[in-house]
């Protein structure tokens, strides 16, 4: 049933994107619809033998100020905003022609910004004024005016008018008005981000003390993902950057299957962890948790040592490096294990050739010097509400550390303790990690009690791997001394933890009894 019986008689066209407009305009003329257009659009239509009236002839006002003012005229907005039944006298007195349809799209602001030589003054000329104003006016008066902002919608309108004798339903008009307002919102957001960049400000400053009272996020779909957290769930990758081909997660997929939701989470976790290290380092990660990390003299050794931490968990995981990946290391990885994703800032030509033999393997290249943690704002959805936190990757400040044990850790133990903290802060809580020579020996994570995390880490060694002289790092304080008692017979040399438990005195007494050194960091690294 058609809700609106008003036929389309007059259409105003003012466009920058001319895709499909010639065929659409011809269809409108064939349906006896009178066309009005701004000078540039009118020139294009006339060139294609389409009857059109310049909008300046209707307003009796020329386009002025280097075309900055073309549609900013009261007769145009009266044509769009008029309510025929209420405004009959005004319409007649001022010779207002009612526009039943407006076809408008804006100056390509974001496209022009891709020109690196574009100066600020010229960028300002790409800000459309009249177009967004007309779209807002038409959306406000959607029952009387159809607004079209996207060429791909032309064919739908032609079909509906052909079917309904030039009548467009209110349902369609409301739908198109909604699309148009979203189009305006995206356009304004691009301009805002440009100004913000020029002004050297950020909408969310990760280093500000308080989160903003009002927060606006403009998300642009970057790509559909293979599947969500589970295969029956849909997922997509969105970015806040105005150029969706760039975004804050600045990575390039060189080969492999389409990324999934879980793949991106693993990539994010891998990058967050690998950027902690400056020397040759390999991070092996599974389901968001590092399961083996090593810093060594080269990538080959770093991978072998990281792999030995937990070969079982490494199966089907993600491997990340912080330096260029060579052929020897690549071949060894492919021979030793199955993996889903491999990341590096660069790959040698020979390494790429070796990886090409595994076409389904997702190969990701990232910017080595890109500060991924700067944009680390966490947003979680809970039944329509949102939890937002300013989750900065805390710098490890050794000056705040306090040695609380009688036994003083050696310089080597302090270096290993710092390495262990860099690992444990990326593990799901409750978490512990045992480290020796800047290599993880065993890891326990994602447990509801700290002692269970320790038990799992110890059990992973199958009693075949010595924990003697290892460093134990914990993401939060030890609530009881039972954990200390458990590890005392393993000859652990040093423990590093935040401290702050009401049981601290008992725990310090326990490590002193067992001749273990202990460092309090005063920083907790819970990760849920």
* Residue numbers annotated as active site: 140, 287
Q: Where are the beta strands (DSSP E) in 117-246?
A: 146-148, 220-224, 236-239
311-337 core/surface letters (b: 16 or more CB in 10 A; e: else): eebbeebbbbbbbebbbbbbbbbbeeb
Which position has the token pair 């791909």?
A: 152
CA dist., res. 183 & res. 131, Å (int):
11
CA dist., res. 361 & res. 256, Å (int):
5
CA dist., res. 285 & res. 267, Å (int):
9
Name beta bridge partners: 285: 290, 318
CA dist., res. 512 & res. 495, Å (int):
12
Indicate the SS3 state at residue 377. Answer: strand
User: What's the Cα-to-Cα distance from 251 to each of 40, 186, 267, rounded to whole Å?
Assistant: 40, 24, 9
CA dist., res. 506 & res. 514, Å (int):
13
Burial class (CB in 10 A: 0-12, 13-18, 19+), 150: middle
CA dist., res. 217 & res. 461, Å (int):
46
CA dist., res. 343 & res. 521, Å (int):
31
Please answer whether residues 291 and 337 qualify as being in contact, where contact means their C-beta atoms are separated by less than 8 angstroms: no
Q: Running DSSP on this structure, what letter comes out for residue 400?
A: G
Q: Running DSSP on this structure, what letter comes out for residue 261?
A: H
Look at the chain and count its residues. 528
Neighbours of 274 (CB within 10 A): 25
Neighbours of 189 (CB within 10 A): 18
Burial class (CB in 10 A: 0-12, 13-18, 19+), 106: buried
Which of 371, 346, 341, 372 lies closest to 358 in space, CA to CA? 341
Q: Where are the beta strands (DSSP E) in 39-99?
A: 53-54
> Could you tell me the two tokens for 277?
């290290």
């Amino acid at each position: 049933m058609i809700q609106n019986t008003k036929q389309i008689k007059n259409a105003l066209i003012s466009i920058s994107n001319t895709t499909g407009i010639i065929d659409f305009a011809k269809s409108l003329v064939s349906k006896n619809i009178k066309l009005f257009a701004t000078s540039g659009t009118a020139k294009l239509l006339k060139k294609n033998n389409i009857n059109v009236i310049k909008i300046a002839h209707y307003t009796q006002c020329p386009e002025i100020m280097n075309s900055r003012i073309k549609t900013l005229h009261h007769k145009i907005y009266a044509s769009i905003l008029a309510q025929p039944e209420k405004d009959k006298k005004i319409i007649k007195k001022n010779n207002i022609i009612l526009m039943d349809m407006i076809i408008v799209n804006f100056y390509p602001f974001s496209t022009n910004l891709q020109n690196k030589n574009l100066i600020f003054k010229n960028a300002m000329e790409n800000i459309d004024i009249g177009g967004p104003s007309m779209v807002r006016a038409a959306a406000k008066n959607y029952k009387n005016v159809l607004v079209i902002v996207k060429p791909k919608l032309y064919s739908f309108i032609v079909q509906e008018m052909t079917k309904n004798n030039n009548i467009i339903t209110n349902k369609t008009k409301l739908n198109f008005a909604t699309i148009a307002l979203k189009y305006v919102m995206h356009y304004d957001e691009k301009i805002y981000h440009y100004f913000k960049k020029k002004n050297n400000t950020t909408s969310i400053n990760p280093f500000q003390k308080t989160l903003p009272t009002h927060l606006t996020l403009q998300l642009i779909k970057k790509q559909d993902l293979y599947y969500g957290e589970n295969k029956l769930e849909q997922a997509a990758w969105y970015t806040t950057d105005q150029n969706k081909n760039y975004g804050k997660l600045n990575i390039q997929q060189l080969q492999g299957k389409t990324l999934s939701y879980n793949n991106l989470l693993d990539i994010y976790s891998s990058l967050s962890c690998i950027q902690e290290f400056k020397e040759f380092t390999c991070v092996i990660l599974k389901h968001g948790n590092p399961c083996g990390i090593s810093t060594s003299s080269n990538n080959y050794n770093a991978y072998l040592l990281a792999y030995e931490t937990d070969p079982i968990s490494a199966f089907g995981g993600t491997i990340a490096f912080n330096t260029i990946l060579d052929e020897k290391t690549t071949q060894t990885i492919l021979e030793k294990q199955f993996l889903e994703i491999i990341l590096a800032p660069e790959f040698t030509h020979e390494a790429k050739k070796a990886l090409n033999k595994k076409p389904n393997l997702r190969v990701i290249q990232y910017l080595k010097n890109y500060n991924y943690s700067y944009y680390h704002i966490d947003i979680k959805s809970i039944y329509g509400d949102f939890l937002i936190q300013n989750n900065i990757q805390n710098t490890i400040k050794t000056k705040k550390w306090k040695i609380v044990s009688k036994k003083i850790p050696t310089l080597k133990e302090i270096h290993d303790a710092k390495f262990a903290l860099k690992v444990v802060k990326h593990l799901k809580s409750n978490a512990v990690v045992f480290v020796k020579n800047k290599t993880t020996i065993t890891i326990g994570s994602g447990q509801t009690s700290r002692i269970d995390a320790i038990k799992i880490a110890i059990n992973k060694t199958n009693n075949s791997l010595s924990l003697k002289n290892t460093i134990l790092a914990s993401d939060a304080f030890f609530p009881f001394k039972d954990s200390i008692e458990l590890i005392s017979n393993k000859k652990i040399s040093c423990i590093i933890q935040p401290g702050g438990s009401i049981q601290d005195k008992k725990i310090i007494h326990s490590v002193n009894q067992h001749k273990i050194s202990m460092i309090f960091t005063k920083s907790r690294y819970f990760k849920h």
